[in-house]
Structure formats: structure tokens, C-alpha cells
Amino acid sequence: MSATVTDTPLAFALRYAKAGYRVLPLHSAPGGVCTCSKGAKCKDAGKHPRTEHGAHDACADETAIREWWERWPTANIGMTLNDLVAVDVDPRNGGNVDLLPHKLPDTCHQRTGGGGDHFLFRTSNGTRYPKDLKPGIDIKSGSGAYICVEPSIHASGERYVWIDESEPWSQNPSEAPEWIARVKKAARGSEDAEGAIPEGERNERLTSLAGSMRRRGMMRESMEAALLVENAMQCRPPLDDAEVKKIAESISGYAPAEAHIGEWPEPLNIFSSMAAPAFRRGDFPRLIADYADPFARAAGFDFSGVAGACVVAAAGVIPDHVRLLLARNSSWFESPRLWSLLLGAPGSAKSPIIRAATRPVIDLHRRLVEQWVRENPDPDPETATPKPAAFTSDATIEKLSEILRDNPRGLLYVVDEFDSWFGSIDAYRQGGGSRDRGEWLRLYDGGPHQVDRVRRGSFYVPNWGCSLLSATTWATLDRHAKNLPVDGLLQRFLPVILPSERPEPDALASYAEIKQAEEKLEARLLELHGIESMTVHLSADALELFDEEVRANRTLVGALEAAGEGLAAHVAKHAGLLARVALTFHAIEHGRTAMADLGAHTMRAALGFMARAFAHTVALHQRLNVKSSAWPLARDIARSMLADGVVLINARTATQICRAFRSAEDWRRKQAVETLTTCGWVQPVDPLQRYGDHGATWQLNPKAAETFAQIGIEHTARRKTVADRLRTAQRGEVSEP
């Protein structure tokens, strides 16, 4: 099916549920490595349930589904088959629907990530089905049975897709044909077995089957194994094995339908660290840029940090009941609720930047509280109006629940030091889970929340949500990294990485200009704080831009899973973040007139902001994962290829030329090869082969060999220096200085 504005695992899961199907989250397999505890050793990678009771946990409840995919945003989707039957065709094991005794009726048809097919049918209760129809054609049905469904990603990296617009939410599966329940797998040696291939048709049928498998991309060895099984089970009498192998060898000489050889891409520079580009004035609403720019120049602060913090501060003031509708006739809304983390070395002015960005919000908060005090000189808990708040800082989760109970509009939560806040969350002290973790995570999403505590009693919070602004150093984040599970905490933050060196203060900056800009911004925030409930719509042009970005983001997330689940999960939130940023920009630009449609100009500004935010996100995860990811190994392989002049490489060659490859775990080797492929350094000689396939070989991009030749020369020189020193030491010689 074509991608849509809601092309995310959560959106698909909700779509299945709305159509009446029961779903459950499955493990995923980024880079072919399962996210379960078995990792690369898992024999069912990306296909087994994440929940405790497996398929029995499946449901169509929206709340449960949202909680699952909030916890595991890239989880594959399983759909149970209580009243359904799925015919599962696996050509790798000889499956071919053309060999069934009858044609399957048209129905919901899914191409699996493994290159097979699922044909989905409705079934009557009590109907019993055989486990298989033919070699490579299984039947799944009944309690506890399920199939992976779109947009799940197979361990091969390919996506499950409903084809020919046969999605089960747009059409009902056809009734299962009666003959499926009667078919029995042909017994070896049974001359009159149903579906047997008689003499005179054996070569033609096996050649046809081989052609079908080759078009799907199967290699000779796999085709040969499947044909030998089909020959022994169905041909009457069977052909000689040598004749069957000859068919497989002949057909394997044809190019598969999917094979395509294109131009070599421009290789990425994998030897340099990912830079975090500076944000530009044009990436922000004018009111924010007019304040942040002169203030940053006058104080010698980084403009990106000041302006980025101002955006989050403004989002904290805009009421959560101002919502942006992302797709007509849908329930996808986003509110202006943002979390951001300033990252920089000690002395990069993180705390002063936060104080400068939040000063207008704190002034607004002061005004609101002073007015409340005047109106409630002797407040009685029973009669006094709720105490207003525009911001809070370093509050416990219990205290925050009381503040939010009285302020359903939401507020800005300022945490000057991420370290102290993170350390207070008992969920992360030992890397485990607790009630606090869930409550903190839900603050990002907003919505009703019931608080039930022994000491504080029970009360209802109409909107459990706030914007959050914090800062930390790289050393602090590195220390906490091992206790940061991929549950979405870090992934909720927009990172803004400050440069290592602060700019020099501009002595010519105008204080009057700064003060005037600050007053204008504060006046707009006061105006926005008073907005009542409002739904903002996207203009046609803005919707087109948003849809295009969501489709691109979905593709990007799939590609990034090989680089790390944490990065993929972070980028998976960028579609929703784009909407939140765009709505924040729209409100700042238009104030109380924000009811007008959000236009293409604002969406383009938000896209520019998010493009730079993406670069900061990648730089963050590259820093956190550099010791555990496949990047260092990919670089070592590339250096070795350049130094030794190797053009073609396979697992054996890599072991010979690269010491790091010899000692690396197999899953890391696989991810390193995939990283080199993604970055345009190598291409498989056979586009259908993957790492681990027998004889799989990759070719070095000639552009990489030319562009980075100096890297190879320097690596060769270092090798020679080391070798010379070792030989000198062995001879007992001492080189003179």
C-alpha cells in the first residue's frame, strides 16, 4: 500500500484494532539482531511477542495499544487469527501456490518480509485445518496463532506489505475455501496423492517452480533444496537428483525480477564525527529570533541554545488544549508540548541560557501568582480558586501532580541540572522499572490521569502534561547512558548540542534592542496563555509538506534500525515533533488569531528546524553508541580495504586483512557491513545476498577508493611504523632519538 500521513507502527496497530482485529507487539530485528535477550542467537528474530502472555495478550483496546507502542515504538505488529486462517507461502522452503490443487480465491494478500506471501481468509468456528498444504505452504489458524503484519520489518530488513490494495481494514477477507481443510500433504511414494506431478510434466513443473523462486530472489542453493523436496514428495516417479540440480543451476543464471544495478552513490565520510550544525535565525519565529539573536551576541552565548530553549519555554505557556489536527477524518492531534535537553561542556553557559530563555515565562508566572494572591488574601482550601502556575522547577512527581491538577493548561517544567532530576527517578537508579518512570514518560503525551497514593489520597488530573527544559554535560550523560533503556525517556528530548567554544561577547549589542524584543515576546506569551480551546488545521500545501516528510521519516527509521534501536526510536518521534514545533511556531506568529490554518510558510520553517534537530539527534547517539555500535568496526574494515587495495571483500577476506573484524562478534560484523552499504562504501556483488549467505561478497565503491585514498596511505604508514618498531625491539636494538 502507499504510505500515508499515519505511516507508523502505532498508527497501523490502531487501524487494525479499529477494523476489529486483535494485535500485539512483537520484537523487532534491527540489522537482523532480535531485540530480545537472545539477540543474534534468536531463531525467531522479530517475530515473537514482547508481552508476558504472548498472543493471549492481544487486544483491540486503544489505550493498551498506545501504551505498548509508546514503550516500544518500533515493535513489529502481530495480528491474531481467532476467526481467521492464513495460508503462509514460503518459497525458501519450496512453497508455490501454483502447485496447489485449486486456485486460491482473491482475498487480503500480504507480501512478507521474507519474500513469501500471506493469504488471509475468514473461517467458521470449529473448522479444523491441517498444519500445511504442501512443502513450504503452512496454515495458521485458531487460538494462539498470529502473523506479522504491515509495517513490520523482517530480520532481512524487508517490510511486510499488503498488496493490490487488499488491506484487511479496507476490505473483508474472503471466506476460506472448503478444500483447504481437506487437503493433506502428499505422502512419500503415494502414486495417487492429490497434487502429484505425473511423468511427462515433471521437468516443466519443476522448471516453472524454479523460475518462480528465482524471480523472488532465491539463490541456487535454496532453490535446489526446495526442488529436491518437491521432486521427492510430488513427482511420480521422482527425477534423478542430478537432473533436479541441473534445473536449479540453469534457472539461477537468470537475473531475479528485483535485481537492479545502479550508479555508485557518493560515499559518506565515515571517518569524521557527525557535526551538529548551528540553527539559523530563519529556523525560528521572528519574535524569538529577534530576542535570542541580540541577547546571545551581547552575552557571548550560543544562538542555537538560546533560541531553542525559547521555543520550549513558549511551548510550555501555550495551553495544551490548543491542538493541531494532522489528518482530516482522523484522531491524530498534537499539542504544543516540547522537551529539550541542552548538551555542552562545562562552561558552555547552559544554565545562564536556560535562565535567559525562561525569564519571560517566569515574569508571566509571577504576574499570575501576584494576581491570585490579591484575589485570595486569606485562601481557604475549600473556597479559594486554584493557584495558577506557568512554570515549576525541580518538583517531585507528587508535588507536580498537585500543580497540574490546578493547571490543566499545562506548564513549563524547568530542570536546571538533568543529573539531579534523572537521579531522582527511581526507575533509572539501577536501570529497572517503577511507577515513577511511567508517570514521567506520560507527561510528554498529556491527557487525563488518576493519582492514587496512600498518603496523599486520590484525585483526578485533567491533563497530565507539561513541556520540559533541562541541560547536562557529556560526561554526565555518558555516566547515565548504561541505565537508559530504550523506553522513550531520552527519545522524548530534542537535543541542542552547544559548541565546545563560546563566541566572544559583542560589545556593540544594544541593550535597548534586547529589552524591547523581550517585552514583545513576553506580551505574546501572556496573550497565548489566555487562549481557550482551539483546533488548528493544516492548509492544503502545509498538509502536503507534512505528509511527504512523514513518509520520508518512516523510510529513514527503518534504515536507521541497523545503526541502533535508540537512534531509530528517537527519529521515530520526529513526525509528531514536527507537528508540535509547527504548532508552537504558528501560535507564536499569530497569537490569538492562531485559529487560522497553519500554512506552508510555517511548516517550511518547522521543517528547517527539524532538519537541524535531526543532525543533533544523530550526533547525540553517535557519541553515546560509539563504543558499542558497529561504526568503529565499519571504519576499521574501510581503512583495511583502502590500505591493502582490496576491491572485493567477503567474510574470509575481512578476517585476513582486518584484526578488529577477526575479534568482533558476528552480529557486530553484520551491522558493520550494513553500515558500509548504507553509507555508500560497498555494494553486494549479488544484490540478493546478505551477510551470512554462503559466498556473499561486496565490492568497494570506486568513488570511496579515490576520495579517501589518503586514509589508506596513512593506515599503511602506521602499520609499517608499528612493524618496524616491533622488529627493532625483537633484535634488542634501541633507536636513537
Averages of pLDDT over each 10 residues, the chain, 737 residues: 59 90 91 84 89 83 88 91 89 82 89 90 76 86 86 89 87 86 46 58 76 64 74 79 85 57 72 77 93 93 95 95 82 92 91 93 92 86 84 84 91 86 57 61 88 70 93 84 68 91 83 91 90 88 91 80 73 93 94 80 93 88 66 89 85 87 86 82 74 73 88 84 78 56
- pLDDT attached to residue 63: 85
Distance, in Å, from the CA atom of 277 to the CA atom of 296, rounded to the nearest integer, reads: 17
Contact, 465 vs 409, CB < 8 A? Answer: no
Helices within 9-57 (DSSP H only):
9-18
- C-alpha 187: how far from its chain's center? 46
* Residue 526 falls inside a structural domain: yes
The answer on 713 and 609 residing in a single domain is no
Nearest in space to 641 (alpha carbons), one of 664, 665, 661:
661
The answer on 190 and 97 residing in a single domain is no
Pairing relationship of beta strands 174-175 and 457-461 according to DSSP bridges: unpaired
The answer on 206 and 295 residing in a single domain is no
Distance, in Å, from the CA atom of 49 to the CA atom of 17, rounded to the nearest integer, reads: 17
The answer on 550 and 426 residing in a single domain is yes
The answer on 499 and 410 residing in a single domain is yes
Nearest in space to 558 (alpha carbons), one of 261, 93, 208, 153:
153
The answer on 617 and 527 residing in a single domain is yes
Contact, 641 vs 661, CB < 8 A? Answer: no
- pLDDT attached to residue 239: 85
Contact residues for 164 (Cβ-Cβ < 8 A; gap 6+): 109
The answer on 407 and 456 residing in a single domain is yes
The answer on 295 and 238 residing in a single domain is no
Number of domains the chain is built from: 4
Can you say whether the dihedral through the CA atoms of 520, 521, 526, 530 is positive or negative? positive
Helices within 300-448 (DSSP H only):
303-317, 350-375, 397-406, 418-424, 435-442
- pLDDT attached to residue 2: 34
Distance, in Å, from the CA atom of 524 to the CA atom of 285, rounded to the nearest integer, reads: 12
* Residue 113 falls inside a structural domain: yes
Question: What are residue 340's DSSP bridge partners?
Answer: 469, 494
What type of residue is 545?
A: L
User: Quick one: cell of 5?
Assistant: 500521513
Produce one character per residue of 32-62: b if its CB has 16 or more CB atoms within 10 Å, e if not.
Answer: bbbbbeeebebeebbbbbbbeebbebbebee
SS3 468: strand
* Residue 735 falls inside a structural domain: no
Distance, in Å, from the CA atom of 346 to the CA atom of 73, rounded to the nearest integer, reads: 33
Question: What are residue 140's DSSP bridge partners?
Answer: 86
Distance, in Å, from the CA atom of 290 to the CA atom of 292, rounded to the nearest integer, reads: 6
- pLDDT attached to residue 483: 64
Q: Which domain holds residue 58?
A: 9-183
The answer on 363 and 253 residing in a single domain is no
The answer on 211 and 107 residing in a single domain is no
* Residue 279 falls inside a structural domain: no
pTM: 0.57
Distance, in Å, from the CA atom of 91 to the CA atom of 96, rounded to the nearest integer, reads: 6
Helices 574-590, 511-529: crossing angle, 10 deg rounding? 100
Question: What are residue 79's DSSP bridge partners?
Answer: 23, 147
Question: What single string gives the DSSP state of each residue in 609-647?
Answer: HHHHHHHHHHHHHHHHHTTTSSHHHHHHHHHHHHHHT--
CA distances from residue 99 to 118, 136, 235 in whole angstroms, order as listed: 16, 11, 12
* Residue 2 falls inside a structural domain: no
Choosing from 605, 625, 645, the residue where a domain stops is 625
- pLDDT attached to residue 190: 36
Distance, in Å, from the CA atom of 565 to the CA atom of 124, rounded to the nearest integer, reads: 41
Distance, in Å, from the CA atom of 671 to the CA atom of 640, rounded to the nearest integer, reads: 17
The Cβ of residue 620 has, within 10 Å, a number of other Cβ atoms equal to: 24
The answer on 359 and 293 residing in a single domain is yes
The answer on 193 and 126 residing in a single domain is no
* Residue 276 falls inside a structural domain: no
Choosing from 119, 152, 183, the residue where a domain stops is 183
* Residue 275 falls inside a structural domain: no
